[in-house]
Amino acid sequence: MIEDGTGLLTIGELARTTGLSVRTIRYWSDEGALPPVARSAGGYRLYDAGSAARLELVRTLRELGLGLADVRRVLTGETTVAQVAAAHVAALDAQIRALKVTRAVLSTVARRGSTAEETTLMNRLARLSTAERRRIIDDFMADVFDGIDTADPDIRQRLRFAAADLPDDPTPEQVDAWVELAELIQDPAFRATMRSMIEFNAADRGPDVPSGSSLWFMSRLVQLAARALEDGVAPDSPRAMDILRELIGDADPAAVLERLSAATNVRLARYRELSAIVNGLEPASSREEEFGWVVAALEFRVAG
């Protein structure tokens, strides 16, 4: 306190009172967040008790991450602490999401041992905007369904759900899955495989075939094959032929075999697994044993 009876503090005394450095206080003062209340005869800045309280508020807001521009607006009454805090929370949420994506990409790069080119691609895919990600999905859907008007609407709906968008607050696993899924659905070869499966589904579908029939067929396949496996029925046995007739009726076994071979493609199975992860779901069972039994039975029948 200067010895003139005013009760004013020099910048050094204010620093000792608050525990802040003279350099920090001088910088905040220069930026307009803590203007001096007076000047000494020698031109030194002087502060009062109100300055000390103001300084504590500046320190608090700065420790919470607010910029000096926002601090000045609060101190001049242009806005309130609550309003600035709400805006800062929104900004922090965006930063946290970005950091999660960064962590997920780096974790994937470390696990895969990715090259510089792969790292660049993963980072780009992970940071696409919501609109950009949806454009990728829409383009995929348009390509695989183009001109196939008779496709089962249940298949179209399930495929649209499976081509999941990344949630706003993804886990590292979801970011990793989305990157691989985005790479997959942009691959022309995979799109051709998916389109082939949908074409098989639509080939024998007419106006009188109810929606969901393809899903019913798959459910029935799993049920019958599971029972056959449980009973120890060999795929090349006469009993297996009876089960096939119960499943496919008068349909051409070769055509059904071709459809199932497409549906059980390894990359399609991976697509379903990745989609479940992005959707936050447990990956569904691939039912490899059941499909394998039916495929083996069909192959025996076609060959015979």
The secondary structure of 132-144 as a DSSP string is: HHHHHHHHHHHHH
In this structure, what token pair is assigned to residue 136? Answer: 């990728």
Q: Does the pLDDT value for residue 157 go beyond 70?
A: no
What residues are paired with 10 via a beta bridge? Answer: 46
Residue 234 tokens, joined: 């060999």
pLDDT at 213 over 50: no
Q: How far apart are CA 192 and CA 197, in angstroms?
A: 9
Per the prediction, the chain carries an average pLDDT of 79
Asked which of 6-10, 107-111, 145-149 is least confident by mean pLDDT, the reply is: 145-149
Range with lowest mean pLDDT among 40-44, 223-227, 261-265: 261-265
Q: Which residue has the higher pLDDT, 208 or 59?
A: 59
- For 223-236, how does the pLDDT look when each residue is reduced to its tens digit (9 = 90+)? 888 888 899 999 89
Q: What is the mean pLDDT of residues 172-195?
A: 86
Q: How many residues are there in the chain?
A: 304
Residue 202 pLDDT grade (very low, low, confident, very high; cuts 50, 70, 90): low
Class of domain 9-79: mainly alpha
For residue 244, pLDDT over 90 is answered with no
- Cα angle value 85/86/88 (rounded, 5°): 60
Give the residue from 174, 182, 183, 180 showing the smallest Cα distance to 103.
Answer: 174
Strand partners, 39: 45
- Alpha-carbon distance of 258 to 204, in angstroms, equals 13
Residue 153's pLDDT is what?
59
Q: Which one-letter DSSP state was computed for residue 152?
A: -
Average pLDDT score over residue span 116-137: 80
In the predicted structure, residue 94 carries a pLDDT above the cut 80:
no
In this structure, of 85-99, 131-145, 155-169, 171-185, the range with the lowest mean pLDDT score is 155-169
Q: What is the mean pLDDT of residues 163-185?
A: 79
**Backbone dihedral angles phi then psi of residue 46, each to the nearest 5 degrees:** -125, 145
Cα separation, 161 vs 173, in Å, equals 19
Q: Hey, what long-range contacts does 95-99 have (CB within 8 A, 24 or more apart)?
A: 97/168, 97/169, 98/127
If one compares 157 and 5, the residue with the highest pLDDT of the two is: 157
Q: What is the pLDDT of residue 128?
A: 78
Q: How far apart are CA 44 and CA 40, in angstroms?
A: 5
Is the dihedral angle over the CA atoms 182, 187, 189, 195 positive or is it negative?
positive
For residues 114 and 142, is the Cβ–Cβ distance under 8 A? no
Q: What is the mean pLDDT of residues 104-129?
A: 80
Determine contact, residues 39/45, Cβ cutoff 8 Å: yes
Nearest to 68 by CA among 31, 37, 35: 31
Q: What pLDDT is attached to residue 3?
A: 47
Domain range annotation of the chain? 9-79, 82-118, 132-303
- The secondary structure of residue 272, as a DSSP letter, is H
Q: With a cut of 70, say whether residue 7 has pLDDT above it.
A: yes
Query: For residue 120, how many other CB atoms are within 10 A of its CB?
Result: 11
| Least confident among 17-21, 147-151, 225-229, 283-287 | 147-151
pTM of the model: 0.52
User: In this model, does residue 211 exceed pLDDT 50?
Assistant: no
pLDDT tens track for 275-304: 888 888 776 666 778 878 888 888 888 886
Comparison of pLDDT for 2 and 15, the residue scoring more: 15
Flag whether pLDDT at 212 surpasses 60. Answer: no
pLDDT at 163 over 60: no
